[in-house]
Chain A
Amino acid sequence: MTATRAPVRPKAARVGRGGQRLAAWAFLLPALAYIVLFFGYPLVNNVSMSLREYSVRSFYTGEAPFVGLDNYVAVLGDPLFGTAVLNTAVFTVASIFFQFTIGLALAVFFNDRFPLSGLLRSLLLLPWLLPLVVSGAVWRWMLDQDHGVINAALRAVGLADGPTPWLTDPGWALPAVIIVNIWIGIPFNLVILHGGLRAIPSTLYEAAELDGASAWQRFRHVTWPLLRPVTAVVLMLGLVYTIKVFDVIMVVTGGGPANATQTLTTWAYQLSFDGDFAFGQGAAVGNLLVLVATVFGLLYLRSARASMREEQR
């Protein structure tokens, strides 16, 4: 029986595999075409734009003379460049540090089951699901110098005697947008870290408890090491997302006052669209951002690759 079938089977299998490959590409084609058109083209086009003198007139005349690296030289030489880089770094590091620590504390807190824990935890997701423009608008109102509830509350509890000019003073504006961004990012950290905590076998905690470990020791020697892979993913994703935050800053401060909250993202936008219409320079800043995001993106992939290999098995 095997003797008569043996020569046929490989051939049939080969045809089947070929057909499957064809079918697979057919199913993949729309997505492939979309990615090439809406990611491939923009990325290439952005590089080309950054090497040209692109202005409003270019859209009508179709002429955008090649200027080499002039846009990059102009951008790097702009005094705003240093400001934007510094603001981006401070904004990103401070946001992530507090989002993560508060998110982790809450995840640990909600990890023990108690009445209503699930409901309360899912309610905390709400700030993350709201449109960023909505959150920005609400905070802008809360941080208002004269009529905002934050200043009213600080006054009521005696923490401040005069109103704090959160959004109008260059020294306060960056801390203000960071506070808003921390608030927005807590739920994401909470949910992912909570998922990671749930995956830690409870027997480990029981064993640690039997050995007389305190709550802190259980966290330090069981939770923290076992949560490390999830921690890496949360931090890398947080980094990649936070570096390019746009909506929050635009709505709360618009990059002001006096560029105190200008980051690379808002600056790239303003160069291109807000008054200047220096699309070439906007593209140059954008490409610098792509470069930075790619570096962190690759780091993220490295930390995520382990879990991907698991999945392939």
Chain B
Amino acid sequence: MTRYLRTAAGIAVVIVLLFPLYWMVNASLQPAGSLLKPNPDWLPVDGTLDGYRSALSTQGGHLMASLAVAAGTVVVSLAIAMPAAYALAQLRIRGVQAFVFALLIVQMVPGPVMANSLYTLFSEFSLIDSYLGLVLADSTATIPFAVLVLRAFMLSIPRELPEAARVDGAGYWRVFASIVVPISRNAMVTAGLFSFLFAWADFLFAVTLTTGRGIEPITVGIYRFIGNQSADWNAVLATAVMASIPAAVLLVIAQRYVVAGVTGGALKD
């Protein structure tokens, strides 16, 4: 019986902590006028999709831009991090510890420092307002993380496996491509998932490395939307709901990987 009391208490905790998310959905469905009433409506009884219509027409392009940047970041991060993780985990070289330390330290560099310097670097190579620029900038956060998560996983691959392939005459590239990569699929999903979520959520690089005249990711879209004097809150929050979809979808279909990523990135060195 106490077990069910625990469940009830657990549900209460979830309701309290997730209330802001309910409130976001609720407000996104309310007509703009009823958001300004002194006592808010607790349920979207006069629900309308107007907010979503207006959000899609003004923010749809930004959603697509974010999608492209996030997908590009996943590709670049994995392409660079996979071979590096393999070398650090499976091949014996000196300086592995130093490199891993370096990856940990660079993750601690505050964002504005990166943005400051990347701005000057990018303006020299006309990478401001470009997909490539944002992908490369977002990868500064995702590559160190991906290398660490992938390496932690690859340390657990028994060395006999690649060594047997070596004895059979396979080159290092062959071992990497046909043994290490397939085995590491789950860790790749974890690293890729977090790379996607990071790039999708990135605000700092998006706001500093774009001018608003070219591409503009959804986070900047929301930010400018709020900054707008006549903030149309139900459309703002409808945009926020749409920007939350990747996180929600990933949590539902890939929960295992999410937890692996949270703990893997933090604890497995």
Contacts and interface: CB of A to CB of B under 8 A. Distances in A.
Interface in A254-313: 265, 268-269, 272-273, 279, 282-283, 285-287, 289-290, 293-294, 296-297, 300-301, 304, 307-308, 311
B269 A282 contact: no
B204 interface: yes
A12 interface: no
Interface in B1-56: 3-4, 6-7, 9-11, 13-14, 17-18, 20-21, 23-24, 27, 35-40
- List 6 A-B pairs, minimum CB-CB distance, nearest first: A42-B117, A131-B201, A31-B84, A24-B91, A27-B87, A286-B113
B140 interface: yes
B147 interface: yes
Given A42-B114, A191-B262, A142 B223 contact: no
Q: Is the interface of A mostly helix, strand, loop or mixed?
A: helix
A146 B38 CA distance: 7
Given A46-B117, A250-B203, A31 B143 contact: yes
* Size class of the contact patch on chain B: 35 or more
Interface in B98-116: 99-106, 108-116
B8 to A, nearest CB: 10
Contact of A268 (B10, B24, B112, B236): B112
Interface string B109-144: 111111111111101000000000000110110011
B244 interface: yes
A117 interface: yes
Interface of A: 17, 20-21, 23-28, 30-32, 34-35, 38-39, 41-43, 45-46, 49, 59, 106, 109-110, 112, 114-117, 120, 122-135, 137-142, 146-147, 149, 152, 183, 186, 188, 191-192, 195, 230, 233-234, 237, 240, 243-244, 246-247, 250-251, 265, 268-269, 272-273, 279, 282-283, 285-287, 289-290, 293-294, 296-297, 300-301, 304, 307-308, 311
A26 to B, nearest CB: 8
A37 to B, nearest CB: 9
A294 B79 CA distance: 28
Given A43-B113, A45-B121, A129 B258 contact: yes
Contacts of A147: 35-38, 40, 233
B80 interface: yes
B226 interface: yes
B116 A272 contact: yes
A152 B42 CA distance: 11
12 contacts: A24-B91, A24-B93, A34-B143, A45-B117, A117-B7, A133-B219, A142-B20, A152-B39, A234-B266, A237-B266, A265-B110, A304-B267
A131 B219 contact: yes
Interface in B208-249: 208, 218-219, 222-223, 226, 233, 236-237, 240, 243-244, 247-248
Contact of B7 (A115, A134, A146, A297): A115
B71 interface: no
A91 to B, nearest CB: 14
A250 B223 contact: yes
Nearest to A118: B255
Contacts of A188: 262
B21 A138 contact: yes
Given A146-B38, A192-B263, A269 B115 contact: yes
Contact of B24 (A23, A138, A230): A138
Given A127-B21, A152-B39, A137 B172 contact: no
Given A247-B204, A286-B116, A28 B222 contact: no
Contacts of A124: 13-14, 17-18
Contacts, number: 302
A307 B267 contact: yes
B250 interface: yes
Contact of A233 (B23, B226, B266): B266
A142 B83 CA distance: 46
Contacts of A308: 97, 100, 269
B244 A130 contact: yes
Nearest to B90: A24
B145 interface: no
Contacts of B155: 311
Contacts of A45: 117, 120-121
Contacts of B37: 147
B67 interface: no
B197 interface: yes
Given A45-B121, A59-B120, A109-B10, A133 B203 contact: yes
Contacts of A127: 17-18, 20-21
Contacts of B120: 45, 49, 59, 279
A42 B110 CA distance: 12
Given A31-B84, A34-B80, A42-B114, A141 B236 contact: yes
B112 A289 contact: yes
B243 A31 contact: no
